[in-house]
């Protein structure tokens, strides 16, 4: 199985993201909801996962804001 949008269904892309990020629905385990939201364009077939990762990396290196924690997260 590939990872490109043209090689996967929406359900497969959801599974790819879920497996890559781990348990994002747990008791705020790692507060990763922002990362899950970040990959929604990939799941919806709008942007390739590599493009999202490159944009995130560019924001991280430049100091621009990235994903945020959930408001209900006890680690805020």
> Rounded distance, CA 27 to CA 4, Å?
31
In the prediction, which pLDDT does 56 show? 80
Q: Mean pLDDT per 10-residue run, the chain (76 residues)?
A: 92 91 58 75 95 81 56 49
> Rounded distance, CA 41 to CA 13, Å?
10
Neighbours of 41 (CB within 10 A): 16
> Rounded distance, CA 57 to CA 24, Å?
20
In the prediction, which pLDDT does 18 show? 87
Angle among Cα 43, 39, 21 to the nearest 5 degrees reads: 105
In the prediction, which pLDDT does 46 show? 97
Contact 48, 2 (CB under 8 A): no
In the prediction, which pLDDT does 8 show? 96
Kindly report whether the global pTM for this prediction surpasses the value 0.85. Answer: no
């Amino acid at each position: 199985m590939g990872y490109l949008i043209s090689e996967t269904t929406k359900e497969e892309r959801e599974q790819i993201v879920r497996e890559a990020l781990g348990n994002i629905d747990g008791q705020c385990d790692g507060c990763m909801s922002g990362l899950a939201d970040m990959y929604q364009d990939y799941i919806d077939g709008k942007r390739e996962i590599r493009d999202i990762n490159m944009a995130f990396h560019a924001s991280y290196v430049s100091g621009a804001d990235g994903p945020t924690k959930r408001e209900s997260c006890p680690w805020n």
